[in-house]
């Protein structure tokens, strides 16, 4: 997901917990929200910083693959919709960095970790957007997968994170509908457009399934995060839900999901489907996806090229404050 493979810290059995930790866990179990100034285990704080930070980074790196088509959007209306969407993603980044700040880590610190390759962002954004249909596929599938994960996170235990998710989810579902509308137009268009739509689905299907991360049934990290309600569902549950929701949507478009083994399983009330190639996933996570270097390079360049700008604003603010102080004397 936007937060894939987030390690959680300090997994403890109940008998090893301090009374404070027990009281904390009980609050979470009762469904109470944890607020910034309240006591929390260090592991909870660290895990959240990692997860929220990774989520924030995903939003801002996620601007790039779609930003790639803004100047080539085929109509003025499509250009405006796409630009507004990418702008929303920057806004999501802002809310999430602010949520992380309540845990005592600044946006600049998190960005430096991202730029140094010490924090990750979602694997999906390391895939290229090669045709206009990718603007449809990304909205439909990538925002769609993000929503799958983020809707339950509205109930997460950490107050600021939960509130950020509530704001973000509204916009994400709008993005998904817009993406689907782009696909619809192509699927109903000329043969070339239809081909474009199918090609985008072919390329984005498995990377979208990877967004949920590998099966976590054996993962201790997941168990701890779930106990803390930082993670609400297992990766497999969400992936299944996503497939079940998306397959009929593809059928409605007249497109074929690129999985010959996909079939409805009456007994479980869901589809059976092929796993993505997890070795590809681990390659991408390790930095070897088709666009990792370009994406991170673009973020680092924006940051470095913008240093003089940020310094200039800071210096002006200091001068202005000094002038005000002098005037007050």
Where does this chain bind another protein (CB under 8 A)? 60, 63-64, 67, 70-80, 83-84, 86-87, 90-91, 93-94, 97, 107, 132, 182, 185-186, 189-190, 192-193, 298, 301-303, 305-317, 319
Given Fe ion, another protein, none, residue 76, with its beta carbon under 5 to 8 Å by kind, binds: another protein
- Contact status, residue 272 vs residue 259, Cβ threshold 8 Å: no
- Residue 217 CA to residue 182 CA, distance in Å, equals 36
Lookup: tokens for 96 = 């999430």
Which residue lies nearer to another protein by CB, 83 or 262?
Answer: 83
Residues that bind Fe ion (CB under 5 A): 59, 89, 92, 143, 146, 172, 175
Q: Provide the 3-class DSSP secondary structure of residue 34.
A: strand
- Residue 223 CA to residue 91 CA, distance in Å, equals 31
Which residue lies nearer to Fe ion by CB, 48 or 56?
Answer: 56
Closest distance of CB 84 from another protein, Å: 6
Given Fe ion, another protein, none, residue 312, with its beta carbon under 5 to 8 Å by kind, binds: another protein
Which residue lies nearer to another protein by CB, 24 or 95?
Answer: 95
- Contact status, residue 124 vs residue 210, Cβ threshold 8 Å: yes
Closest distance of CB 103 from another protein, Å: 18
- Residue 68 CA to residue 105 CA, distance in Å, equals 30
Lookup: tokens for 103 = 């845990």
Closest distance of CB 3 from another protein, Å: 19
Question: What is the DSSP pairing of strand 270-272 with strand 263-265?
Answer: antiparallel
- Residue 144 CA to residue 180 CA, distance in Å, equals 10
Given another protein, Fe ion, none, residue 311, with its beta carbon under 5 to 8 Å by kind, binds: another protein
Which residue lies nearer to another protein by CB, 97 or 228?
Answer: 97
Which residue lies nearer to another protein by CB, 45 or 57?
Answer: 57
Which residue lies nearer to Fe ion by CB, 146 or 243?
Answer: 146
Lookup: tokens for 220 = 């201790």
Ramachandran area for residue 80 (φ above 0: left; ψ -120 to 50: alpha; else beta): alpha
- Residue 271 CA to residue 239 CA, distance in Å, equals 11
Closest distance of CB 287 from another protein, Å: 20
Closest distance of CB 137 from another protein, Å: 15
Given Fe ion, another protein, none, residue 143, with its beta carbon under 5 to 8 Å by kind, binds: Fe ion
């Amino acid at each position: 997901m936007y937060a894939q493979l987030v390690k959680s810290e300090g997994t403890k059995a109940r008998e090893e917990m301090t009374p404070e930790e027990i009281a904390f866990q009980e609050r979470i179990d009762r469904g109470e929200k944890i607020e910034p100034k309240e006591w929390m285990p260090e592991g909870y704080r660290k895990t959240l910083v990692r997860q929220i930070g990774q989520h924030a980074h995903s939003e801002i790196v996620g601007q790039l693959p779609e930003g790639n088509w803004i100047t080539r959007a085929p109509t003025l209306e499509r250009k405006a919709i796409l630009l507004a969407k990418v702008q929303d993603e920057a806004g999501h980044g802002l809310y999430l960095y602010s949520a992380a700040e309540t845990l005592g880590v600044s946006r600049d610190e998190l960005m430096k970790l991202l730029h140094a390759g010490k924090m990750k962002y979602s694997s999906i954004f390391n895939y290229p957007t090669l045709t206009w249909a990718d603007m449809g596929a990304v909205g439909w599938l990538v925002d769609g997968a993000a929503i799958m994960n983020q809707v339950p996170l509205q109930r997460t235990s950490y107050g600021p994170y939960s509130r950020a998710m509530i704001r973000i989810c509204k916009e994400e579902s709008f993005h998904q509908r817009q993406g689907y509308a782009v696909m619809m137009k192509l699927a109903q268009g000329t043969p070339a457009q239809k081909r474009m739509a199918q090609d985008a689905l072919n390329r984005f299907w498995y990377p979208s399934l990877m967004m949920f991360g590998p099966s976590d049934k054996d993962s201790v990290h997941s168990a701890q995060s779930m106990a803390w309600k930082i993670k609400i569902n297992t990766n497999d549950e969400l992936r299944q839900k996503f497939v079940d929701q998306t397959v009929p949507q593809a059928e409605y478009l007249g497109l074929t999901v690129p999985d010959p083994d996909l079939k409805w399983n009456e007994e479980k009330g869901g589809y059976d489907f092929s796993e993505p190639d997890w070795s590809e996933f681990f390659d991408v996570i390790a930095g070897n996806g088709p666009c990792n270097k370009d994406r991170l390079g673009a973020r680092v360049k924006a940051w470095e090229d913008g240093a003089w700008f940020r310094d200039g604003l800071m210096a002006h603010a200091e001068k202005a404050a000094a002038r005000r102080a002098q005037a007050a004397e």
